[in-house]
Structure formats: structure tokens, C-alpha cells
Amino acid sequence: MSGTADFSDQVVIVSGGAQGIGKGISSAFASRGAHVVILDIDEEALAQQQEVLSAAGASALCLRADVAEELDVDASVNHILQRFGRIDVLVNNAGIVDTRPMARRPMEAWDRLLAVNLRGPYLLAKYCETALRRSNPGAIVNIASTRALMSEANTEPYAASKGGLIALTHALAVSLGPEVRVNAISPGWIEVADWKKTSKRSQPHHRSTDLLQHPVGRVGTPHDIAAACLFLASRDAGFITGANFVVDGGMTIKMIYEP
């Protein structure tokens, strides 16, 4: 079972893997024996996660790269192949948010968000394709969001990027099969305040109503998403491709109904 899935000798790329959910994912793969490569734009966070993983005896390579930039992605993938000679798993996790109202959101912000959240995963898939096919079975896991399926006000570019990422997931699954499986995870509310770099870290606080809107009685943690990610990247998930897994403690299936 994936609970004990072993990724020894496999090379796993995690974008945005230095903080938040990505930190949970990169740590989980490292603890299962993978050579973990983290691509992130935050050098302070990269240095800290490199230290954490090295102290745990893990094999980790932390590279500064902007996933929206083709030159960065090209150079990073070349670097990884020169160092390890293979890529087995790609986790497209890096993502940004913008909650300004439309009237105050410049179009450059729309372009940047779509570039990071949607162009980035496509670029990484494109540059990793040959190596992932060679790995056979290779796996891609795209971190989407329940906001692809439901919205609050002022989240248009984010919702559109995540809806696009779910569509990109099934399109890639068809193009890259049978050698590579491609799936998405849509996290709900995942608390990351205590998974940031030390200068940004804070203690999470949740109101009882925050907990009550989840049938499981709590908000999520990066461990919850990492566990789903390990499963989807493992051989146990060999018959799953093109799928979107909602991992949200039941938040999106709960009706808010006041009689």
C-alpha cells in the first residue's frame, strides 16, 4: 500500500516545495527514500528546507527557479538530468493567489497568476516529458484546488487557473499514457501558517465555525495532501489517471442550510 510506498532511487520534482503544502510533499517523498528536487523562487525558504532535509539524511537538491519562466524550467530540468539521469515523479505544486476586486486588479496580475499556476505546470510537463516516459511508469500530480469547483468573490484568476489545471490534467493524461499517469489533487482549506519559512511562520488559530464546516471536524494540514500525493505517485495508483481527487475533509459536500 502507499502507506509504505517506497520511492528509493526515484527522482521527484516538487515545485514550490520549500514552504506550505509543497514543504509537506517534499518532506514526505524524502522520508520514503526519494531524491527530492525542490524548485522554488524563495531562496531563504529553499535554504531552510535544504537544511531540514539534509539534517534528516535525505537526498535533496534545492534550485531557485520560477516555474513561469521557460529558461528557468529548461535549465533546471537539464541540471536535474545531469545530476541524476532520470525523473520519475513531477509534482506541480507552486501557486499564487490574488483576491483583489476586478476593478483594482491590473491585467498584469491576471497574466502573472495564470503564468505561475497554469503555464508553469505545462512548462514542467513539457520539459520533463521525455524523462518521465523513460521512467515508465512516470507520474505527474498537479495541485489544483476546490476553488476550481466553487468560489468566493474576487477569485477569478485563481479559480480559472485551477479549473484550467484540472483540464490540463486530463489532456496530459491522454497524451502521455501509457508511460506516464497524470492526476490532480484539489485541496480544500489547508493550514500552512506553521509550514512557512521561519521569518513568516505563525501559530494557526481556528474558530469553532471553521472546524464545524468540515465533516471531519478539522481543517487540513500539508500531511493530508502529501499522503494523497504519495498514493497517486505510487504503483498502487496504477489504474488511476486523468482524475481529480478532492481532499477537503468534506467541506465542499456539506450544505450550509438555515431553516
**Shortest CB 171 distance to ligand NAD, Å:** 18
# binding residues, ligand NAD (CB under 6 A): 26
- Burial degree of 235 (CB within 10 A; 0-12, 13-18, 19+): exposed
Is residue 158 annotated as part of the catalytic site, yes or no? Answer: yes
- 137 binds ligand NAD per the rule CB under 6 A: no
Among 95, 137, 157, 164, binds ligand NAD (CB under 6 A): 95
Q: Which one is catalytic: 122, 127, 158, 257?
A: 158
- 20 binds ligand NAD per the rule CB under 6 A: yes
Which is nearest to 218 in space by CA: 234, 202, 232, 207? 207
Angle at alpha carbon of residue 184, lines to 181 and 189, rounded to 5°: 155
Stretch that binds ligand NAD, among 50-58, 93-101, 123-131, 206-214 (CB under 6 A): 93-101
Chain position carrying cell 506553521 = 194
- 232 binds ligand NAD per the rule CB under 6 A: no
Q: Which stretches within the chain are classed as H helix?
A: 20-31, 43-55, 70-84, 107-114, 120-135, 156-176, 208-212, 222-233
- If you count DSSP H runs as helices and E runs as strands, how many of each does the chain have, helices first? 8, 7
* Residue with Cβ nearer ligand NAD (41 or 53): 41
Give the interface with ligand NAD as residue ranges (CB under 6 A).
Answer: 15-16, 18-22, 39-42, 45, 66-68, 93-96, 116, 143, 145, 187, 189-190, 192
Any idea which residues carry the catalytic annotation? 158
